[in-house]
Chain A
Amino acid sequence: MDNWVILGLQFTVSALASGLIFFEYVLPRLAKLSFESAVLPMLLVQAFRFTGFTLLVTGQSDPAIPQDALSQMAWGDYASAVTALLAAYAVWRQPRIAVPLIWLFVIVCVGDLLNVTRIIFEIDFFSYDIGSTWTFLMWFLPWVVISLFYILYRLFNKAPKVTE
């Protein structure tokens, strides 16, 4: 079975499982919270994207993968993690600049995801050995996507949902 097919199968089930957990346990709690309280944990999820830097560790990825491609993916993830942390700090301590910093994170994050997707297809990334990054993809990537969408949702719908 091709690595792409395996990843597709794993990512589908992972997205489904993570989606069920999010809608069943996380969303009902977040929905009642203020914008700041709801967005903070979602930004902290994104802070763990430093794991993408593992691609640059010697022995963790196939040496045949172009180094430039690995660098772009690793630094893109790192930039997303840093901007997420900056935004999280602002939400916590500097609310005045929080929203612009969250938007900055969103732009960096979406830019990185688009760039990574382009590279992955260009170099047929998943046909190479990518070591522990495979774990990151199958378990963590769905949460990256879910938390990004929820941050975007709350940027446009800042008020908490009032329950009857």
Chain B
Amino acid sequence: MDNWIILGIQTTVSTVAYALIFFWYVQPRIAKLPFETAVTPMLLVHLFRFAGFTLLVVGQTDPSVARSTLEAIAYGDMLATISALVAVLALRARSSFAVPLIWLFTIIGFADLANVGRLALDADLFNHYVGVMWLVAIAFFPVVIISHLYIVYRLLNKGSDDLEMRTATG
């Protein structure tokens, strides 16, 4: 069986499992919370995207995969991690920049995901040895997608107005 098919089967089941957990246990709790309290844990999930940097570790990936491909994926993930960190710190500090920074993180995060998808297909990445990144792909990637979508949902169905009002009034 082709590695992509295995990955597809695994990530499909993983995504369904995480979605059930999210809709049954997480969403009912955070739906009642204000924007700041609900979005903070979702941003914290993205701090663990530094895992993508493992692709650059000697021995963790097939040396025949182009270094430029691995670097583009690794640095994209690290950039998403750092933008999530800046956004979560701004949110905790109730900065007036918090909402724009969350939007910036969202743009960087989705751009990185799109770029990773393109690079992985171009390089046929998952038909090469990718070490522990396989585990990251099947166990962590669905959580990244779900939390990203929930952050966008809360940005569009604010409650962040509350935050903007509170930061404006000090």
Q: Which residues of A contact B (CB under 8 A)?
A: 1, 3, 6-7, 9-10, 13-14, 16-17, 20-21, 24-25, 62, 127-132, 134-135, 138-139
Contact = CB atoms under 8 A, between A and B. Distances in A.
A127 B58 contact: yes
B59 A62 contact: yes
A138 B92 CA distance: 25
19 contacts: A3-B58, A9-B78, A10-B53, A14-B50, A17-B47, A17-B48, A17-B85, A24-B44, A127-B58, A128-B59, A129-B60, A130-B59, A132-B132, A134-B54, A134-B57, A135-B51, A135-B132, A138-B50, A138-B51
Size category of the binding interface on chain B: 20 to 34
Contacts of A13: 47, 50, 81, 85
Interface string B46-71: 01101101101111100000000000
B102 to A, nearest CB: 16
A132 B48 contact: no
B88 A135 contact: no
Given A3-B57, A6-B57, A139-B48, 14 more contacts: A9-B50, A10-B50, A10-B51, A14-B48, A16-B47, A17-B85, A21-B44, A128-B59, A129-B58, A129-B59, A132-B132, A134-B131, A134-B132, A138-B50
Contacts, number: 62
Interface of B: 40-41, 44, 47-48, 50-51, 53-54, 56-60, 78, 81, 85, 88, 92, 131-132, 135-136
A134 to B, nearest CB: 5
